[in-house]
Amino acid sequence: MMQVGAGRDWPLAGGDVGGTYFSRLEDITPENVSSLGLAWDYPLYTNRGQEATPVEIDGVLVTSSTAGRAVALDAATGEEIWRFDPEIDMQANRVACCDMVNRGVAVDDGRVFVATLDGVLYALDFKSGEILWQADTHDGSGRGLSSTGAPEVAGDVVLIGNSGAEYDVRGFVTAYDVETGAARWRFYTVPHDPEAGPQENPELEEAVTTWDPESRWDVGGGGTVWDAIHYDPEFDAVYIGVGNGGPYHRAKRSPSGGDNLYLSSIVALDPETGRVKWHYQETPGDSWDFTATGPMTLTTLEIDGEETPVLLHAPKNGFLYVIDRRNGKLLRANALVFQNWTSGINAETGRPVMTPENADYSTGPKIIYPGTPGASNWHPFSYNPQTGLYYGAVLEMGNLMMMTPGQKPYKEKGINSDASLIFTPDLPAVLPGLPSFVQEAVKALPEWSRVEEGLDKSELRAIDPLTGETVWAAPYAGWQDRSGVLTTASGLVFAGDVRGFFNVYDAESGDLLKSIDTGASIIAAPMTYEVDGVQYVAVMAGWGGGGWPYVPRYGAAYERRNDGRILVFKLGGGETPKPDKLPPLEPAPAAPEDLFADASPETIAHGRALFFDNCAICHSNQHRSISPDLRRMQPYTHEIFNDILLEGLLVQNGMPSWGDLLMEEDADAIHAYLIGEQRRIRAVELELQKEGLPLDQPSAALLSNY
């Protein structure tokens, strides 16, 4: 049996081999935590999301940041030991759905592994940060691949997956020799077109029978392994969490149906060979972006009187699964949230009992719970063996999902999910703007009353892993507010929030014992370690990830920008300096008067459509967005608009070139649309200014538009 919890060091992202985010350190207690204060902080010089949990070994803290940059610091002082600033092809942003986040490093035997947004896996020297080897994990596939996940070491190989199931990707993981970087094996998570020849292995031959032979093989099928890859030394297995299907709806992806293995599954692989040991599919025939990619927790629980090696998993689909690590058999599955895509999980077969009357949006708009952001997403949970509870961020929220009939042509490196979605918190405001037949259909749905009642909420919960029951809950500020969790043997729960607080709770009662206002939005999981007899707690701060350009108004990132930082606390530490508040908004500058002044309504409509198809996933055009608000372009930006959009003038800053996809007249149409928006918002804001009102009124533009 594996020892639960990290000790003085925190050598793995999840703390221990089980990934419990539990520490055996006990210096910081409920009694003394009131004196917790800042030991040191470290600026990351980025305003993008921070999702990694640092690793600490022998007084050295190592972590990754935006797009796969990495840093090693003295864990007691924050002094920089080395910094890894690889050259990254920012064109990768064209196919990055969810920010330039990176979920961490793996450290093993003097090597640090990190993967960059453009899919290069690096092995670095732990002491110096020098590159030992590098491997192009995307192999120049020409597909919409990116990478945001942490590598995982399994014996003498290191594994990495990739992102892009909303684009045109056939998901896979690859194992590289830890010493040389030579590729050992690759496991594709979904089959290829059977007409193109035999599958890569017998398990995929089995999988292909669960797909329509006429599936959308051109799109790739999805199944990206964009987050959890977990090595289990007890059973010498690597568990991978497989992502959603592409296109989203099975009726489009695999029209005749089928489970579409291994989408939305946990697959146990042999680290030597890459062959399947067992698999468990959480969402057969996924149509809802119900990835199974979230972090897993490996531990041992007493089940029906027997000490059982289990894997705990709370994926997007709303259930908490307890799976037998010996064979992949389902032991428990309990819903954590209101969900309507199934009437329950059959304990005998392990299969969900589907409710297409609620959730099949191929026959009309449906309000489906949970929504695509998931009841849980990548934010790590913590399992605390002392309380026996599982602590994590749980989101009660749904979304309206719709699709147009027929198949869309394949879009190379484009978004091919072919479904529209509107999150339930936005739905009452958005619905009146939708076509009247949609409005009527939505109001006739049984879930509409739930939406009107506004029952959505985000909570930090302490959960009984075997029943799914909530023992206590603490509210987050809104649905975009959730974070990773750390627990310790002294009975504490640590979790930050997007408002900018670093919170410490009593593990038993949920009482809030300490809350430090850091002025920095926190979504990552904290970790803890001890150096020279002092216990430190570290967390990375920075809002981002899915929906990153939509900065919630309650967030520190809204009030004070979003400067990424590593924050490290200890007992008796000092004040945490907060970044300055942003100055009040000025009205949008005037757009050049003569520019596209006579653009036709057709041109503007064309520009608008192109903007929402290609640009809106990064440019929310809201106040205080992380990416430029294109309604506020300065005169010079208008001058160089086409150089930026078509020639890649700002590719180094993260704005990719679209010259291969958009013609000059497309760029002009987008520009004309944006100028119209700029003129409109300027008029509104000048009026507000005249009335002495704040300019940042809640925006009518909402998040749910991708």
Ligand X SMILES: O=C(O)c1cc(C(=O)O)c2c(n1)C(=O)C(=O)c1cc(C(=O)O)[nH]c1-2
Is residue 376 within the footprint of Ca ion (CB under 5 A)? no
Q: Which span (6-14, 93-101, 550-558, 672-680) binds ligand X, by CB under 6 A?
A: 93-101
Residue 289 as a binder of ligand X (CB under 6 A): the answer is yes
Interacting residue with ligand X among 52, 72, 97, 520 (CB under 6 A):
97
Decide if residue 158 touches ligand X (CB under 6 A). no
State in angstroms the smallest separation of the CB of 581 from Ca ion.
35
Task: Consult the annotation and say whether 399 binds a ligand.
Answer: no
The residue (of 247 and 573) whose beta carbon lies closer to ligand X is 247
Whichever of 417 and 503 has its CB closer to ligand X, that residue is 417
Query: Could you say which of Ca ion, ligand X, none residue 378 binds, taking C-beta under 5 to 8 angstroms by partner kind?
Result: ligand X
> How far is 226 from 367, CA to CA, in rounded Å?
26
CA distances from 592 to 304, 401, 581, 628, 650 (A): 73, 39, 30, 18, 21
Q: Is 166 annotated as a binding residue?
A: yes
Q: Which of residues 455-494 bind ligand X (CB under 6 A)?
A: none
Residue whose Cβ sits closest to ligand X:
545
State which of positions 42-81 bind ligand X (CB under 6 A): 51
- DSSP-assigned states of every residue in 332-376: EEEESS---SEEEE-TTT--EEE-HHHH-GGGS-EEESS-TT-SS
Q: Is the peptide bond before 577 cis (omega within 30 degrees of 0)?
A: no
Q: How many residues sit in the footprint of ligand X (CB under 6 A)?
A: 20
For tokens 């003295």, what's the residue? 74
Answer yes or no: is 487 a known binding residue. Answer: no
Task: Name which of 69, 192, 162, 97 is nearest 548 in CA terms.
Answer: 97
Residue 316 among known ligand-binding residues: yes
Per the residue annotation, which of 16, 99, 108, 289 is the catalytic one? 289
Q: What is d(CA 637, CA 680) in angstroms, rounded to the nearest whole number?
A: 18
**Residue pair 375/337 in contact by the 8 Å Cβ criterion:** yes
Under the binding rule (CB under 6 A), the answer on residue 546 touching ligand X is: yes
Q: How far is CA 533 from CA 7, 35, 75, in A?
A: 12, 17, 12
Binding-site string for ligand X from residue 130 to residue 149, where x marks contact by CB under 6 A and - marks none: ------------------x-
243 binds ligand X (CB under 6 A): yes
Pairwise CA distance, residues 569 & 596, whole Å? 54
65's CB contacts (< 8 A; 6+ apart) are 44, 46, 50, 52, 71, 102, 540, 564
What is the distance of C-alpha 26 from the center of its chain?
31
Q: Report the nearest approach of ligand X to the CB of residue 421 (Å).
A: 11
Residue 562 in the binding site for Ca ion (CB under 5 A) = no
Give the angle 662-668-673 at the CA atoms, nearest 5°. Answer: 110
Q: Which helix (H) or strand (E) holds 674?
A: helix 664-690
Cβ nearer to ligand X, comparing 48 with 325: 48
Question: Cβ closer to ligand X: 96 or 615?
Answer: 96
Q: 43, 53 in Cβ contact below 8 A?
A: no
* Residue 173, both tokens: 């993981």
- Is 456 in the active site? no
Based on the shown chain and the rule CB under 6 A, indicate whether residue 101 belongs to the binding site for ligand X: yes
Asked if residue 244 belongs to a known ligand binding site, the reply is: yes
Contacts to ligand X from residues 194-233, by CB under 6 A: 224, 226
What phi, psi does 459 have (nearest 5°)? Answer: -140, 150
Does 166 interact with ligand X (rule: CB under 6 A)? Answer: yes
Other Cβ atoms less than 10 A from the Cβ of 467: the count is 11
Kindly state the smallest distance separating residue 51's Cβ from ligand X, in Å.
6
| 685-704 positions binding ligand X, by CB under 6 A | none
Judged by CB under 6 A, does residue 378 bind ligand X?
A: yes
Q: Which is nearer to Ca ion, 123 or 165 (CB)?
A: 165
Token pair listed for 356: 């297409």
Beta-sheet strand order (sheet of 565-571): 36-43, 565-571, 534-541, 527-531
User: Pick from ligand X, Ca ion, none: which does 627 bind, CB < 5 to 8 A by kind?
Assistant: none
Q: Is 244 in the site for Ca ion (CB under 5 A)?
A: yes
CB 404 within 8 A of CB 350: no
Among the residue ranges 81-89, 158-166, 181-189, 279-287, the one whose residues contact ligand X (CB under 6 A): 158-166
**Is residue 392 a contact partner of residue 381, using CB atoms and an 8 Å limit?**
yes
125 belongs to an annotated ligand binding site: no
Q: Are strands 22-23 and 486-488 parallel, antiparallel or unpaired?
A: parallel
- The CA R_g of the chain, rounded to the nearest whole Å, is 24
Catalytically active residues are 289
Binding residues vs ligand X (CB under 6 A): 51, 97-98, 101, 148, 163-166, 224, 226, 243-244, 289, 291, 373, 377-378, 545-546
Residue set of the binding site: 51, 103, 148, 164-166, 224, 244, 289, 316, 377-378, 615, 618-619, 655
Binding residues vs Ca ion (CB under 5 A): 165, 244, 289
Residue set of the binding site for pyrroloquinoline quinone: 51, 103, 148, 164-165, 224, 316, 377-378
